[in-house]
Chain A
Amino acid sequence: MLPRIRKTLLALTCVGALLGGCGQPEPAPEDVPHLIRSGMSSLQIMDFDTAQADLATALELMSPNDPKWGEVTFALAVAKWNNTPYSATEEQEARELMQNLLDSDVSSKIKNAARIAIGRMDEVAGEPGESTDVPAARELYRQVIADQPTGEAGYQASLRLAQTYVQELTPESVQKALEIIHAQIKRDPESPWASVAWQYAGDLQDEFLDNEELALEYYQKAEKMGFANNSRTDVYLWVMSQWALDLGKIDEAMRLWRRIVDDFPRSTFRTLARDLLEEHEDQNGSLSLNEQATSAKTSR
């Protein structure tokens, strides 16, 4: 009886396998929009494996003349490049896809994004011990700046280029980074990206060059435009107030404390700012009273 059971089970397994195999139809060109949507939503949640599978299938069915070809190629390259754990093979595939974009007729916006991406691959080691090519990265960033001196691409490339010099950790290299940043701001002072550049320049002045005066000045410019990381504005204002205090710029410190008190009811710095403000207002108050008394005496 047992051999009979075995045979039956085998037959059932085969039928099951056949039925299971019949369930997946080959994707057709009309599936492309769905595959792109699905791949992009997987990318949003950083499910790079699924994103890769969908976008690669979509790309196979698309012609390079398709208006979405550039976007899909870039998205697929991003999914391969960022997949975890890191794989040198996937990074190489991503690099090739980015290179395809540079060799194609896609918009200059996509091309510049691809250049910056390849620059990052050159500059940053995917895993410890992997070799990097900073000069090649700098060259790509410079190409972007030459192609798009203003706007988002110009700023991103300039800031990335500056960062490669900061990494050398010498005062001279940080100065060189600051020159690059200032040149970019000069080219496009009104861009919202200027706020990022001013704030980063302020950080470099404080952290690497110990120059609180210039750090405060650059942060003031970023404050005027609105900090990029808006939700931390109260923290930045507090940092600025400490610099102002160190520099003896009491009026500026008081302005910053007043902003924290007035504009940030949920800030944990509010009590400290309020107390410091009151303390300095009292001092200024008594100072002006003394001044009045002195002038009254003199006039007498």
Chain B
Amino acid sequence: MSEETPRKKFNWNYVALGILIIGYLFSAGRFFIMSQTMGDRASDKKIIRVAHWQLEPGYREALDKAINDFNNLPHVKENDVEVVQSAITERVYSQFMNVHLISGTAPDIAVVGKSSIITGNAIARFFTPLGDYVSEPNPYNSREFTSPELDPEMRDYLATAPWKDTFLDGMEGGWNEDLNDYYSVPVSNFGKLRLFYNMDVLAKVKAFILKAVDKPQQPTWLKQVWLHEENGETAGYLPDSQSLRDWLANDHPPETLGQLMLYCTGVEAYTKAKNLEYLVPISGSNYFVSDLANFYQPAFFSSYSRKVDLDGMPSTSGLETVSGWRQGIWSFEDPALREFYEFSQDIASFFPVGYQGLDREQAQRRFVLGNAAIISSGGWDASGIFSGVAHRDNEEDRFEIEITPAPLPAEGERWADLVPYRPSEADFKAGVPMGIYKQSRHFEEALDFLKFLSSQPVNEEFNQNAQWLPATIAADPTENMVPFMPVPEGFPGSQSLNLSRMRATIRTEWVSQAKLLATHDITYDEFVASLEKVMNTPRIGALGFWFDEYESSVDRSLALHRKLAVETVNEIIDDTDEKAQARQRALFYQGLKGDEGIHILSMWKKANPGEPFPEF
């Protein structure tokens, strides 16, 4: 028997080590190749990356065109600068920015917002303040760049005005109230909520209604629309009149709220009469702006603003709203509230069945396919809707679209006394605010690009191509976008019972129950009972709101105090800076008003004399 040499046992650790080394080499190699081909080292080029989440049709292409124009400018070529865009989906934009901002690898230019770590003072950690640059004229607004067809006075103004004064909103969209400085450059305008009408459907339905109106025996659906009494209560929307018949005979969309309600009711009747299974009056969805009732709510609740006021300021806070209810200044039995919720039920009845399970895209698709007479949305959706309709396969499926603001009730129509105005859009702020990353190695070049993009001629062309509203003065929008220009006429929307600034427990209950009420899944009494239950529960209701608001007010006061302390340092270093001094006085006044939450205690005392302040 020969002596066998013992077989050496195989060590599996070598395999693991081998896999680790191969993995490392692969990853390092890939990183090296990518940094050589995609990064700044591909050549000596200065690459300026622009990140945004505007994936609406046309926006990227329009930005590409502006970027190409910039990249082809002689001085940009000479300096070997290249701007590229990174369009990132809205869903991951926040995570993308958070990771890259912290790791120091964020794009040179990024749209400020979305990310939870770049709100409030934190913006200053990651983005460069632009206050030192906005007072100088924008060189791309000089006569060399603006069109000779422009009004000569406007050309002179653009050439000499400070950069910030060449924005429609005075560059407020880039202003950071917390930090008292400009941190971004807004380059587009969103445009507020408007109604999109399918004009083919409109013509057919109006003819159908006119025919019904002219009948000696009007159909029941039409009789229900005329303003009348039902069991001692007002029902219907508007009176029959010659002006109404004149409107029915022309080709204009509804001009009053009564006409809108008649039109939507007419669409329903037309659908039944013609057996059109899919056509609905309004393409509603769970997307906030597609529920038209939300637009009218501030107006319905506006009459309470002064009555519930506790802080002497005209805007109504969530706390004042809840306190007003607790004080009995308003109740859910008031006509304004009852009428609003009846209105919201009527509006919801014009939406497709199960609309709360539909999202924004589904609502848009329904309208584009011609299965809705109306959709409500903002300017940001306009290009998608227009291009969707224009690209329908069959030419006969394409239709004309007309856009109008949501109409107000005319005198003599239902709700005319409750809705005298729509919320004013006078204080709009331009959007898509682009900031420059603090660690960008190419600040000057990035700033140069933002000046280029926000100059009158470029901003006009860019937004026309994107089918958005421009952010710069004298920059004309396309004809399609004109209806989205801000309508200054109206009342301040903040002067109304404020649900949006309500504490989360009450707001969530209010919003969710209101949705169930709108679809008749619960009764009005059940709606009121559920809300009153929450509002009466001490910790999560009205009393807890006072306590939380006091605590938040103390926090806000401390945050304001930090800003003021920094301004005091500035003032000590340089007491000749008048702007800094003015800022300091403004902050000091705000600090006096905030007063470490004392004003909340004073408001409590005023609203609840003799009652101790709630503590939890």
Contacts and interface: CB of A to CB of B under 8 A. Distances in A.
A117 B170 CA distance: 36
Contacts of B563: 46
B593 A203 contact: yes
Interface in B374-432: 421, 423-424, 426-427
Interface stretch (A13-21, A140-148, A161-169, A251-259): A161-169
A169 B605 contact: yes
Contacts of A269: 314, 492
Given A265-B426, A270-B488, A45 B125 contact: yes
Contacts of B592: 159, 163, 196, 200, 203
Contacts of A46: 121, 124, 179, 562-563, 566
Interface stretch (B233-241, B259-267, B581-589): B581-589
Contact of B598 (A40, A117, A159, A169): A169
Given A113-B568, A207-B311, A45 B586 contact: no
Nearest to A174: B602
A138 interface: no
Contacts of A45: 121, 124-125, 129, 179
Interface string B529-543: 000000000000000
Contacts of B192: none
Given A207-B602, A268-B493, A229 B586 contact: yes
A71 B427 contact: no
Interface string B471-492: 0000000000000000011111
B565 interface: yes
A266 B167 CA distance: 13
B561 interface: yes
Given A169-B602, A235-B313, A268 B586 contact: no
A267 B312 contact: no
A41 to B, nearest CB: 10
Given A163-B592, A169-B605, A113 B572 contact: yes
Contacts of A192: 581-582, 585
**Interface footprint category on B:** 35 or more
B602 A117 contact: no
B426 to A, nearest CB: 5
Contacts of B119: none
B599 interface: yes
Given A45-B124, A45-B179, A265-B426, A40 B573 contact: yes
A58 B570 CA distance: 18
A47 interface: yes
Name A's interface SS: helix
Given A78-B569, A230-B582, A268-B427, A199 B599 contact: no
Name B's interface SS: helix
Given A71-B573, A78-B565, A207-B312, A47 B125 contact: yes
B305 to A, nearest CB: 10
Contacts of A199: 589
B220 interface: no
A78 B570 CA distance: 11
A174 B570 CA distance: 32
A289 interface: no
Interface string B158-172: 000000000001100
A124 B586 contact: no
Given A82-B561, A229-B589, A74 B491 contact: no
Nearest to A210: B606
A271 B565 CA distance: 39
A235 B314 contact: yes
Interface in A77-111: 78, 81-82, 109-110
Given A78-B566, A270-B426, A196 B598 contact: no
A191 B5 CA distance: 102
A180 interface: no
A250 interface: no
A156 interface: yes
Contacts of B424: 268, 270-271
B601 interface: yes
A166 B599 CA distance: 10
Interface in B1-23: 11, 13, 17
Interface string A270-292: 11100000000000000000000
A193 B121 CA distance: 27
Nearest to A48: B562
B592 to A, nearest CB: 5
A44 interface: yes
B568 A78 contact: yes
Contacts of B585: 192-193, 195-196, 228
A43 interface: yes
A81 B565 contact: yes
A193 B592 CA distance: 13
A268 B490 contact: yes
B590 interface: yes
B599 A228 contact: no
Contacts of A185: none
**Interface footprint category on A:** 35 or more
Contacts of B427: 266-268
B586 A230 contact: yes
A231 to B, nearest CB: 8
Nearest to A202: B312
A196 B566 contact: no
Nearest to A70: B572
B255 interface: no
Interface in A183-197: 192-193, 195-196
Interface in B143-194: 169-170, 179
A120 interface: yes
Contact of B312 (A44, A239, A272): A239
Contacts of A208: 602
A71 B572 contact: yes
A113 to B, nearest CB: 6
Given A196-B589, A199-B589, A200-B589, A268 B121 contact: no
B548 interface: no
Given A81-B565, A271-B491, A238 B314 contact: yes
A206 B489 CA distance: 30
A78 B69 CA distance: 47
Nearest to B574: A71
A2 B12 CA distance: 12
Contacts of A59: none
A43 B569 contact: yes
Interface in B518-571: 558, 561-563, 565-566, 568-571
B595 interface: yes
A225 to B, nearest CB: 11
A44 B566 CA distance: 7
Given A113-B568, A268-B427, A271-B489, A2 B13 contact: yes
B595 A159 contact: no
B121 A266 contact: no
A268 B588 contact: no
Contacts of B311: 207
A137 to B, nearest CB: 12
A12 to B, nearest CB: 14
B351 to A, nearest CB: 30
A268 B426 contact: yes
B312 A271 contact: no
7 contacts: A44-B566, A152-B571, A163-B595, A167-B598, A192-B581, A229-B586, A266-B170
Interface of B: 11, 13, 17, 121, 124-125, 129, 169-170, 179, 306, 311-314, 421, 423-424, 426-427, 488-494, 558, 561-563, 565-566, 568-573, 575, 581-582, 585-586, 588-590, 592-593, 595-596, 598-599, 601-602, 605-606
Given A166-B595, A200-B589, A230-B582, 9 more contacts: A46-B179, A78-B566, A109-B572, A109-B575, A159-B592, A266-B169, A268-B424, A268-B494, A269-B314
- Can you list the 10 inter-chain pairs with the closest CB atoms, starting with the nearest? A45-B124, A268-B492, A268-B424, A228-B585, A228-B589, A82-B562, A229-B586, A78-B565, A46-B121, A196-B589
